[in-house]
Each structure stands twice: as C-alpha cells, then as structure tokens.
Amino acid sequence: MLQTNIDAISEDEEAELLGRLLNLDDRKNTLVGTIALTIARSIIEGRLLPEHDLNSMDLAKQFRTSRTPIREALMVLENGGLVAIPARKRPRVITLNPQQIREIYTLRSQLDAVLSDRLARTIGPDGIEVLEHTLSRMTSAVKRENVDAFFWANVLFHEQSATLAGDMTLKKALEGLGIQVLRLRHTSMSAPGRMQRSLDDHKRLLLAYRDHDTVLAPALSQSLVMGALRVLSEDATGPLATLSSPSDNIQ
C-alpha cells in the first residue's frame, strides 16, 4: 500500500537528479555546477522564459564570480538543450517552436512505450519497491497541492524507470529529449486537475509493471506523454500558441 506521509524531494535531491540529467558528473559540486543548476532550475520552473537574454556580466555579478565559470555553466546548459549561444550574440533561454514541441513529445511517447515494454517484462520486486516509494512522494505532493514537489518526483519516477529497464542507450536518448521539454512538463503540471490525473495514470502504470502487462504498460506510458502534449495544446496562451514576456527572476 502506498504511503502518503512521505517527505517531498529535497533541494539536494533535486540537484542530484538535475545534475545527472545535465551530465555534470564530478562538476556538480563546483561553482560551474552550482551556477548551471541554479539557472537550469529557473528555466525549468518558469522563472526564466524563452528568449530571455543571459547576460554573462550580470550573471557574474549575481554569482559574485568572473565571467569564465558563467560561460562554462552556459555551455553545460547549451549541451543540455536549455540555452542557445548564437555567434556574436548573447546567450538566451532556448525557444522550441510548436512543430519541434510536437515532434519531441511524439518521439518521447514512442520511446517511452518501448522502455515500458522492456520494464514490464523484466522488473522485479525490488524495482517495484523503488517506484512505489517515489509514487508515494507524488501522492503526498498532490495532497499538498505542491506542483514543484510533484514535478520533481515525477521526473525521478521516470529516471528510475529508465534505469531499471537496463537499456542505457534508450535511457540516454530519452534524457536527451526529455531535458529540452522539462519546462513544458512543469507547465503542464500546473493545469487544473492535471496532477491528480497524472498521479492516477502513474498508479495504473505501476500496477501494469507489477502484473508484467506488456500491452497496458506501453499504452499507458504513451498516453501519459501525449496527454501532457494535449494539455499544452489546449492552453490558448501556452507554448503551442504564443510566448510570454521573459522574467528576470533567477532563484
């Protein structure tokens, strides 16, 4: 039975998770890593919006450092698909056009279906226990109506699923696509009723894994991704319609 009094993912756990997704490895606890993680979180959680200029001089003042670690951090974020660094122009938060968003979500849904098929075939009791614990954290976040906590637990659930499936090539492909749309995934979680619907679908997905249901698990995984795309499509002011004005708030 799922517990509902599980603590939310801590900031340190978020940093560990995001550091893995950005391939920071041993740089996670360096100044460059700290800067990259702080800016990445601001992009993902919507405090820095698409096309926002990332002025290296301003950032150097904010982080009380020289421009060199700022440039290195921005290069990490460029490699992760969160920042664009055009020649002879300021770095900026990357913008995905509607066609790119639909293509990424469609491909993610197909890769997620493949991953879920493999996981449904191979997952054992220990793997189920790992996912149950994370699902409990998602449940707790819904009860507290905490979008950020639910979002990061959701990201962790899917990272754990990819690891448990045991296909590192597929995992890297999904992470490469996924990090580009983390901000959009966070946005879709904010829609009314979306967290509860997502939680219910993840509960059904976990049951399908436990039952080794290789038909239902891929179908649910694909539905989760395309459902998030549908939420974005229904938002008349969202990323599939128009872009908002950028914010200056990095936290």
Q: What is the pLDDT of residues 52-90, one digit of tens each?
A: 999 999 999 999 999 999 999 999 999 999 999 998 889
Give a yes or no: residue 184 inside a domain: yes
173 and 54 in a common domain: no
70 and 118 in a common domain: no
pLDDT, position 136? 96
Give a yes or no: residue 249 inside a domain: no
Give a yes or no: residue 160 inside a domain: yes
The domain tally of the chain equals: 2
136 and 41 in a common domain: no
Per-residue model confidence as pLDDT tens digits over 185-231 = 998 898 899 999 999 999 999 999 999 999 999 999 999 999 999 98
Q: What is the mean pLDDT of the chain?
A: 89
106 and 72 in a common domain: no
User: Which domain range does residue 31 map to?
Assistant: 11-93
Q: Is residue 236 scored above 70 in pLDDT?
A: no
Give a yes or no: residue 40 inside a domain: yes
Per-residue model confidence as pLDDT tens digits over 156-192 = 999 999 999 999 999 999 988 888 889 899 988 988 9
- Write phi, then psi, for 97 (nearest 5 degrees): -80, 165
> In this structure, which amino acid lies at residue 150?
F
* CB under 8 A, 24+ apart: contacts of 141-146: 141/8, 141/195, 142/195, 142/196, 142/199, 143/4, 144/8, 145/195, 146/8
Q: Which two tokens stand for residue 94?
A: 């990357």
> In this structure, which amino acid lies at residue 133?
H
Give a yes or no: residue 244 inside a domain: no
